[in-house]
Chain A
């Protein structure tokens, strides 16, 4: 059983807010799903899945970047060519 506190901790890690009223149903669904995942305990031991090809590389060649106006137009707020973000300090 995963507790509501544990769900809150995971939500924090995922940067997903969770409302007070949402927490009980989220926790209930979460546990139902994890119960179903318990079937994985019965998986025989073995190697994990792996890709079949290797060494997919491109040459070190410069290709055009996007026009800056297009980049800045996507963002909600730009300033002197920079993109604005919330404070980190």
Chain B
């Protein structure tokens, strides 16, 4: 678990063994042991999207509400309160366990992890320790050298602590403010074996987990703070360092890249990497050493006496998993004939995959794949916009117009941009047809361009001479000139034909 500045919320000591002495497993090949190898294992915490908290009936929908409005005696740790386990949280965790090919324990139980911190209302966190819900699974990702199987050590359930706001400045801290709305939100912790070999692989594992959890309907990765990661990193022959407090997908790659460079620097200077816990400071993109008090952990785990064990292995059979990302990728390629790259991109995010499937009936699935996976994604990223904001019916209409060849690609992008800008503004969003009409972006019949073509031929004598001298690329230049003057409304193929004809006509 990781709190905001969750210093004391440090390593559970559950990471599999000392990675510097690990036996090389299937995942690593020749690269292992090389100077550039790094060994990375992750502890990923995801908030499960249940309606109520893990141990009480308070709503989990707190993000837009004022602090301390979603609290009760249980999640505030008032004297005399008791936890009562949320059945759905258990079911969700089991779904994840099944999807990640884990063995569900015959009997799992909650334990208390004892430590003090102001975000922890009871002075202990209810988590699972030596009897986790599930163990021994895997997830396949795209690794440094092709497909790679990352082993999952264990999966368990635990409660989220509250949220801290630090008053004062880092140099002159004054006091802390606590909001317990987040306290008791169900978290699933997924621990991987130290099978990852680069920050990029770590990022891909996270993306893979996120996608899987979203497909399972148990997680919403877009919610702020819904995912938090602790990473264990070592360079073979050196001590392992735990980096806590990573709270975004991009952050993982950044934190690991920084930490690896730092460790290599330490070794280069002839010093030893200290075995320690470090914090990732997102704003500065660096990791900093935790203070000594936070390094000494003695969590005094014992069975949570207020809860009863879980004997839920039988439930697993009853869980029907939805189509998972890998299966959907295969289906997309088979059903729509799209490329593996497009399939991977589209299936890499549940909403994108679903969006694509709504577009596929437009008449040309290949066109739809290109437009959703490349064009739309690019425009969305540029605007930091979510796919959920795009009206599917509008986008489908745009694709249909494209299929009917009533719009050039360039003009279609123009329509899309205008449409997305309107979506972002939040007002009324015009249909592609309306946008085309208003901005005269529709494809114009070839003849209408003849004057422009003649103009360009007359003004670009050099290019015309080059063309006649047999330099084909000169024709591209002339096409470009016409396109520019007609604001992309002309179909380049059509235009090339007209230009060639006109040049031939004038040349005789």
Residues of A within 8 A of B (CB): 13, 15, 50-51, 53-66, 68, 71-72, 74, 79-89
Contacts and interface: CB of A to CB of B under 8 A. Distances in A.
A89 B309 contact: no
Contacts of A82: 67-68, 165, 177-179
Contact of A85 (B59, B87, B170, B177): B177
B86 A58 contact: yes
Interface string B166-190: 1110100111111110000000000
B412 interface: no
Nearest to A49: B303
B162 to A, nearest CB: 9
Contact of B71 (A15, A65, A86): A65
Contacts of A65: 58-59, 69-72
**Range for the number of chain B residues in contact with chain A:** 35 or more
Interface in B283-329: 298, 300, 307-312
B257 interface: no
B117 interface: yes
B84 interface: yes
B478 to A, nearest CB: 65
A59 B166 contact: no
Contacts of A50: 309
A85 to B, nearest CB: 4
Nearest to A51: B308
B175 A63 contact: no
Contacts of A57: 84-87, 90
A88 B52 contact: no
Nearest to A88: B176
Contacts of A63: 52, 56-58, 72
Interface in B386-440: none
Given A62-B51, A62-B52, A82-B165, A71 B176 contact: no
A85 B178 contact: yes
Given A68-B68, A89-B170, A54 B178 contact: no
B50 interface: yes
A54 B108 CA distance: 10
| Interface-central residue, A55, A58, A65, A84, by most chain B CB under 10 Å | A65
Contacts of A74: 78
A81 to B, nearest CB: 4
A66 B177 contact: no
A87 B176 contact: yes
15 contacts: A13-B298, A50-B309, A54-B107, A54-B310, A59-B87, A66-B73, A71-B71, A74-B78, A81-B179, A82-B165, A85-B175, A85-B176, A87-B166, A87-B168, A89-B170
